């Protein structure tokens, strides 16, 4: 009777290529489906509010400084260009809520002009004013 010899070179191996393919496809899926928040790019001293609430669904922020500068997507913009920038940012990541982060020393008239520009971009947009909780 012939005896079968087992060589020490023959080891069981697992092919991990299909597993790596699945992990790579999942990574691509999560990158594509993630929505990115478009921050204003500056910090402002927001006024205190007893009724302030968190708005997690917004992806577009507009900051207004006390000197009248308007910031969107980490760059300064003119008040006339706010609606065009909103349309561009909404094309990149659709949202229905815009948050205005106005400094407590910012002029009320400028905040109203920014709100008018937001409504000019789309009158169905929801505008929220950011405030600090007490």
Identify whether 65 is part of a domain: yes
Q: Based on the structure, what is the number of domains in the chain? A: 1
Name residues whose C-beta falls within 8 Å of residue 66's C-beta, 6 or more positions apart in sequence: 103, 105, 106
What pLDDT does 36 receive?
64
Residue 16: phi, psi to the nearest 5? -95, 5
Residue 107, domain CATH: 3.30.420.270
Which pLDDT value is given to residue 37? Answer: 61
Domain assignment present for 7: no
Sign of CA dihedral 12, 17, 18, 22: positive
The pLDDT profile of the chain, 134 residues, written as one tens digit per residue, is 566 665 655 667 788 888 899 999 999 988 887 766 666 666 676 676 666 666 656 678 899 999 999 999 888 999 999 999 999 988 888 888 898 988 889 999 999 999 999 999 988 888 888 877 76
| Domain extent for 100 | 48-133
Q: What is the pLDDT, as a whole number, of residue 76? A: 92
């Amino acid at each position: 009777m012939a005896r079968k010899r087992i060589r020490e070179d023959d080891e069981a191996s697992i092919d991990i290529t299909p597993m790596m393919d699945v992990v790579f496809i999942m990574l691509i899926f999560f990158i594509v489906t993630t929505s990115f928040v478009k921050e204003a790019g500056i910090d402002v001293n927001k006024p205190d509010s007893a009724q302030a609430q968190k708005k997690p669904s917004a992806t577009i922020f507009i900051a207004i400084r006390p000197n009248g500068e308007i910031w969107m997507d980490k760059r300064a913009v003119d008040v006339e260009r706010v609606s065009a920038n909103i349309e561009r940012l909404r094309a990149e990541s659709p949202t229905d809520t815009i948050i205005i982060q106005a400094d407590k020393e910012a002029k009320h008239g400028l905040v109203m002009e920014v709100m008018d520009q937001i409504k000019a971009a789309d009158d169905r947009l929801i505008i929220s004013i950011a405030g600090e909780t007490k």
